[in-house]
Amino acid sequence: MEKYDLCVIGAGPSGYAAAMRAVDFGKKVLLIEKGELGGAGVTNGALSSKTWWELARNVDALYRHKSRYNLSTPEINFNELKDQVAAAVQERKDMLFSHLQKLHGGNGAQAKPVTFIRGRAYLKSPHQVEITTGSKVLTIETAYIVLATGSRPRKLPGIPIDEHIIMTSDGIANLKEFPKSMVILGAGVIGCEFATIFSSMKCTKVNLIDKGDRILPFEDEDVVKVIEQNMEAHDILIHRNARMVRMEIVDGEVEYELAYTDGRKEVFHVEKALVSVGRVPNYENLGLEEVGVEMDNRGIIDDDTQTSVPNIYAVGDITADIALVNVGELEGRYAVERIFGTPARKLVYENISTIMFLNPEVAGVGLNEIQARQKGIDYKLARVDYQVIPRAIAQRNTQGFVKMLVTNDEAMKIIGLRVVGEHASSAMQAIALLISMDKGIEEIAECVHPHPSIPEGIQECVRLFLGKSTFKPYALNDLLHLKAHNGNGQQ
C-alpha cells in the first residue's frame, strides 16, 4: 500500500494551493480530482464567467464608441466568443497540468513530490483513502487529509433544470447562440454578473427576479443605485418584490409566474432561464460521516480549517466560510502550514478583498456601511466622485466613486473601502494590508500615488478626513462627501 504524507481530495483552487504548499515542506503528496483539473473555479466558475465578462465589456465598449470611430453596428459572433472562453479555460488547465507533470518528473530530492490521480476518493478510515479510477480501485495510506471538493450550483425543488433551457451556471457552456430573451432567478452577485454579461452583448433581453426591493441586498444603497441604473439603461427588467410561483418548460421555452408583494400576479415567456440561488458543498459519497467528520447543511464544520477528526482538514467551498477563489487558496495554504509548520499569523477574513464583475465593476475590502451599522460601530465616511479623479476623466468614463470608512475617533483606523467604477480593484490590496495591520489613515495620507490613477481618489478620501483635501466638500458638495455616523446609524 502506497503511503503519503498528505492526501488532498479535490484539485480546484484550494486543493491545488494546499498541494503546492505541501511541496514547500518537502512532503510526499497525493492530489485526487474526479472531474476537471482546476475545479469549478476554472471550468465553469470564476475564470470562464470572468472571460465572458471581459468579452461582453469589449462588445459594450464597441457599441458606446462606434459613432466616435464611424463604425457600423458590430455583428456578434457567438461561436467566436464561446471559443475564446473555452481557450481561456483550456489554457489554464494546460498550465496546471504541465506544472504537475514537471513536478512529478523532477530529479533527485525533488522526484515525484506530487502524484496526481484522476478518480473518485472515499475515506475508508481517517488514514486510508480508496480511489476508484475507471475499473481500478486502489487504497492508499496517508498521515493527513485535506478535503477540497468544492461546491455546485444550488437547485430548487419544482424547477425542471435540464441545463439547456433552464440552466444553472454549469449549463452556460451548452448554449449554441445568445438567446433572444432570458430570465435570471436570483439577484445576488452571480445572478447580477450574468445579467450584466448577457445584456452587454446586445443580443438578449434580460429579466432579473429580485425578491426584495433592490438587487444586492447586502451592499450599500449608493453602490446598488449605480448598478441598477446601468442595468436598466441596458434594458434589463428587474422584477422587484417578486416571488416566483412556478417555472416550467412549455413548447421548448420558459414560462414563469411571479407574485408581487402588492398582490399582483404575472406570467412571462422567455427562451431561457438561469437559476442562480447560491451553491451547495460537495461532501456526499466521501465517507465523511463514517469516519466522524461533523457537517451541517452549510458545509463541513471546521475550527481554523481543522475538522472534528484531528488529521482531516477542510478548505474552500466545502466549508461554511466565504466561497471565493482567493479565500479557498488562502485556506488551503493555511491548513498545510498548520499541519506541517506554524502559520506566521492566524487566518482572518476581515481584510479579504472582493470584486463584483458588474457594470461598472465594484471592489471592496473590510466593512461597508450596512455591516458597520449592524455591528454598532461609530464611523466616519469620506466619498469622492470619479468626476474629480483625472484618470477617470481621461478614460471618458466618470461614473463611479470611492468611499472609505474609518473609526470615528482620533486614530481613524480604516474599517472599509468600496470603489465603484473603472479600475475599481486597482488599490484594494494596500487598504487590505492596512486593515490587517490595524492601522490608521496617516500611513497613506502623503504617500505619492501614481498620476493619473484611480487610487488618487483614495488619497483624496484620506485628505478629506484630515481636513486638507485638494477639493473642498463645501464647494463641490455634490461630488465630495464627509460625514459621521454613530452606532445606531444616525448622522
List, by residue number, the catalytic residues.
Answer: 451
What does the alpha-carbon distance between residue 248 and residue 326 come to, in Å, rounded to a whole number?
Answer: 37
Which residue's entry shows cell 473609526?
Answer: 407
Distances (CA, A) of 404 to 17, 192, 227, 342: 32, 24, 19, 34
Distance (Å, whole) CA 295 – CA 182? 36
Q: Characterize the bridge pairing of strands 3-9 and 29-33.
A: parallel
Radius of gyration of the chain (CA): 25
Instruction: Give the CA-trace dihedral at 236, 238, 243, 245, to 10 degrees.
Output: -30
Residue 303: name the closest of 333, 345, 346 by CA: 346
Rounded CA-CA distance 317/306 in Å is 14
Helix (H) or strand (E) holding 102: helix 78-104
Parallel, antiparallel, or unpaired: how do β-strands 354-356 and 362-366 relate? Answer: antiparallel
**C-alpha distances out from residue 302 to 127, 308, 311, 315, Å:** 18, 7, 12, 9
